[in-house]
Structure formats: C-alpha cells, structure tokens
A and B are shown apart, each in its own frame.
Chain A
Amino acid sequence: MLNLIKRDVILQKRQLLFYIPFIVFFILMGAPPVLIFLVASIFIPFNTYAYDEKVETNILLNSLPYTRTEIIASRYLGAIAYMILSIGVTSVALLAFNKHFTMADIAIGSGLFLLFAALTFPLFQIFKQGYITTVILISFILLTWISRPIALYINEHLTAIIDFVDNTSVTVLYIGATFFIMLIYIISWGITHSIYQRKAF
C-alpha cells in the first residue's frame, strides 16, 4: 500500500518542480496562510486523481497485485500523508518569507482540505471521465474565491472567541471540529470504497 502512495511522487515528478514556486506565488500574492495551507495540501492528491480518472490507470492498478480496498485506502491515507508533508513545506516557506502564521491557520487549512477531499473524492467515482476535472476545478475556484473573506472572518472571530472564552472551551471546539471532520472523512471513504468495489473497468 505504501507503494501506491509513493507512486504519486513518481507520477508527478515534473509537476512537483512547480510545487514550491506555486506556494511562493500564493505567499507573494499575500494570500492568507489558511488558504496557502489549503492550496498546498490539495496539489498532490488532486493531481493524482486527474491521472486516475483515466480508465487505463484503473486497469493497470487493478491488474497488479493490489485489492480495490487497498487502492481506495491509499487515496484516503495518501491525502493525509501529503497534507502533512505540504503543511511542513508551506510552514518552511512562510517562515522563509517572514510571514506570520498560527497553529489555528494550520488547523483550519487542513480541516478545510480534509472536508474538501471528503466531499469531492466520491464524485470522482460518480462522474464520467473528462467531466470531473472541470467540476472540481470550478468548485475549487469558487471555494478559493469565497474562502478568503470566510477565512478572514473566521480568523477575526476566532481571536475574538479566544479573547472571550477560556482555554478549555477552545480545546473543546477544536476537538469537536476534528471529530466532525474525521467523521465526514470516514463516511466519504466508506462511500468511495463501496462504489469502487462494484466498478467494472
């Protein structure tokens, strides 16, 4: 299964060259750190999906000694793995450019990413090849467009909340959000898994 996750890097060697400039571009544009964390996390897993919507890729993967369960699991676990990696890279880039960011930025950015992944991954199995990339692209542009004011709004109000509410309830808030997102992610995994099991290639 680790091989399936590592595959993404081999597949995207060339795209990865653009990865750092891509992050730097967002930093220079003055995008809020939350958005940068989100965009950086999306890069690798969604690029993989752009490859994997092809029928041929599914024929290859399913002819190799992998089970369908493993193929889907590698997507969901891989998304988390690459998200963590992206957070690391983005943090370093932000520090290098002397941009301030907080743990809250990371938490919200990764939370939004997982939510976005959970909502879109099953769509890749439902929509026909060729359409899905457009669907995701449009929804992502929309999300990016509305996320900035939302992120700013959330950021402001979170500081306000931090000012008003004591530490324990913030922790409760975070734990609650974490559980909520985890639940959505697991449900999404289950749905994608059951669709993929029944697919014909």
Chain B
Amino acid sequence: MENVIELKNVTKKFKGFSVNNINLQVKRGFVTGFIGANGAGKSTTIKTMMNLLKPDAGEVKLFGLDYKTHEKEIKERIGFVYDGNIFFEGLNLKDIKRIVAPAYKHWDDTLFDQYVEQFELPLNKAIKTFSKGMQMKASLAIALSHHAELIIMDEPTAGLDPIFRRELLDLLQELMVDGNRTIFFSTHITTDLDRIADYIAFIQKGKLVFNQSIHDVAENYALVKGELNLLDRDTEKAFVHIHRASTGFEALTDNIKAVKNIFGDTVIIERASLEDIMYYFKGGIHHA
C-alpha cells in the first residue's frame, strides 16, 4: 500500500515540550484520524507535515518527495484547513480567492463557485464577520478547489455545532469517493472518527502510541470490569491502565486474549471507545 505521508523518527524539541521519534505512515485513499489530548503534539506533527516547522531530526516525506527539493510540487497537491482563521480578516472571500487562486496551477473557479453556493457563503463580506462555522466552510471551499490529492486538517470540527459537524463529515465522505484522495485530520472529538475514519493515529505526550485501522483498534483494545480481588502484580500486567473504585476495577487492555486466558468469565469485557482509550492512556502506561 502506498504511503502519502511518511514521517521517520521525527523529533522536534521546544521549551518544555517535545515531539519524539514519530514514525507515522498515512496511506493513500483512506481517511486517517489523528487523536490525542490537548497539547499532545497533534498540531506540531501537522506543522511538520506542512513544512511550517522543520524537525530537529528525522525525515518528512509527502508523496514520496522531500520538502528540500520538491516543496512546491508537494504543496500544490495539498489542501489545508487549520483550526483558526489564517486568512486576512479584513478581506472578503472574493479577494482571498484572488490571493490564493493564482498560487495553484490546478485552481478550478467553477468548483470554487460550486462550494460557495453549496455552503451558502457570502463573497462580499469580510471574513471577520463570519461565524466560526462559516470561517471553516470558507477554508474548506478554498482547500477543495484545486483538486488536492491530500487534505490535511487541524481540528476542523472544533467549535462547530453538531449539525454542521455532521454536514462536514458527510462532505468529507463524499470527497473520498475519488479513491485517489487521502484525508488526514486531527480532532479530539472522537465520535467524529467512528463515522468516517479508516485509520486512527493516536499521539500521547509527544509520542505516537499507535496507528491502526479502526477495525484493529476495536479488535485490540477492550474495557475490562471486575472485582478488585482479581488484581495482583501478575494479572495487572495485562492492562494499559487500571482505574480502581471501591466497587471494583475498570481497566483498558491491549491484549484481549491474555485477559480471557487469565480471568475467563470472572470479568466483563466490553468494547473500548476511542475516548476510553484516550482516557486510560492519559493515566500513564503501566506496562510490563
């Protein structure tokens, strides 16, 4: 399978925060959701993909190309959406298009007009008068109008109302009908991902915990509930993190088979949601 994005041992250090040894491959033709708590390193990772940040060490390749020698070719093929508004606030959408469009060889005015109509965007009003949802739609219209093969989005659903969030997800799904297209987006609203993601990449404290198909995530992780007396130093090893209460324990495992072997029918095994996984990993890794 071909990788559209390839990060190899990417490390970037800031004061008091760092992203360490990230190895991440994003496959062509799929939607990859990038999850992690606030401050886990999602935006930093996305910025290295966009060459807004240069990693201290490691290699970043998009479409198999290097930013050093193919910067323009790479960016020509990317559509980007960021969390905040990055367009000149005082300008209207028509003028922003006038600035952005000439940058792309494959800009398609008809397509842009089509999105403007679909999203009901005003062309002659200043961007700063737009609501958060409208700003997002405007960014999206611009990101989608040059036939990008790869769409990179940093928290596109943050701050959107539930109705528009669904509309956005439906739209992304429509875009994926073109099998060549790849979407990579970060979010901390994990329910978005159940609907459209094929792969989940999970980052925690600057480290990539996993990058698996959503199917594998469901197969590999589970919530386990049982009595406290079942836990001892050996049995605890089967869990990523354990949450104890007077009524019993609840824990996340990444080894369902081992749990079944150890505990048999004495525990309840439930499907772990992405939110459960994020929550338990946040508790720290108590792994053998």
**Chain A contact residues, CB within 8 Å of chain B:** 3, 6-7, 10-11, 13-14, 51, 56-57, 59-60, 62-67, 198, 200-201
Interface residue? B116 (CB, 8 A): no
Instruction: Report B-chain residues with C-beta under 8 Å of the C-beta of A14.
Output: 90
> Contacts A64-B100, A200-B52, A200-B54: A56 and B72 contacting too (C-beta < 8 A)?
no
Establish whether residues B103 and A67, one from each chain, have CB atoms under 8 Å apart when the complex forms: no
Contacts of B75 in A (CB 8 A): 63-66
Contact at A198–B54, with CB atoms within 8 Å? yes
By a beta-carbon cutoff of 8 Å, the part of chain B in contact with chain A is 47, 50-54, 71-73, 75-76, 78, 80, 82, 84-88, 90-91, 95, 98-100, 102-105
Q: What residue of chain A has the Cβ atom nearest to residue B84's Cβ?
A: A56
In the docked arrangement, what's the CA distance between A51 and B95, Å? 15
Query: Chain B residues with Cβ under 8 A from A64's Cβ?
Result: 75, 100, 103-104
8 nearest A-B pairs in the assembled complex, by CB-CB distance: A65-B75, A3-B102, A64-B103, A56-B86, A201-B52, A60-B86, A65-B72, A65-B76
In angstroms, Cα B193 to Cα A159, docked, is 76
Residue of chain A at shortest CB distance from B104:
A65
User: Contacts of A57 on B, CB cut-off 8 Å?
Assistant: 86, 88
Q: Are A67 and B54 in contact (CB under 8 A)?
A: no
Which of A6, A11, A59, A66 lies in contact with B82, CB distance below 8 A? A59
When C-beta atoms are compared, the residue in chain A nearest to B44 turns out to be A200
Q: Which residue of B lies closest to A8 (CB)?
A: B99
Evaluate contact between B88 and A59: CB separation under 8 angstroms.
Answer: no
CA distance A98 to B94 in the complex (A): 40
In contact, A13 and B86 (Cβ under 8 angstroms): no
Using known A-B contacts A64-B100, A200-B47, A201-B47, determine if residue A51 contacts B52 with beta carbons closer than 8 Å: no
In the complex the two chains form, is A200's CB within 8 Å of B80's CB?
Answer: no
Residue of A nearest to B14 (CB): A200
In the assembled complex, which residues on chain A have CB atoms less than 8 Å from the CB atom of B72?
65-67
Please measure, in the bound complex, the distance between the C-alpha atom of A67 and the C-alpha atom of B87, giving whole angstroms. Answer: 18
> Which residue of B has the minimal Cβ distance to A3?
B102
Known: A10-B99, A11-B91. 4 other contacts (CB 8 A): A13-B95, A63-B86, A64-B104, A67-B71
**26 A–B pairs (Cβ distance < 8 Å), ordered by A:** A3-B102, A7-B99, A10-B91, A11-B95, A11-B99, A56-B85, A57-B86, A59-B82, A62-B50, A63-B75, A63-B78, A63-B82, A64-B75, A64-B103, A65-B72, A65-B104, A65-B105, A66-B72, A66-B103, A67-B71, A67-B72, A200-B52, A200-B53, A200-B54, A201-B47, A201-B52
Measured between beta carbons, the chain B residues less than 8 angstroms from A6 are 102
Task: Given A64-B75, A65-B104, answer yes or no on A10-B53 (Cβ-Cβ < 8 Å).
Answer: no
Residue of A nearest to B82 (CB): A59
Q: Name which residue of chain B comes closest to A69, CB basis.
A: B71
CA A122 to CA B172, docked complex, whole Å: 42
| A63 to B95 CA separation, bound complex (whole angstroms) | 18
Q: Which residue of B lies closest to A54 (CB)?
A: B88
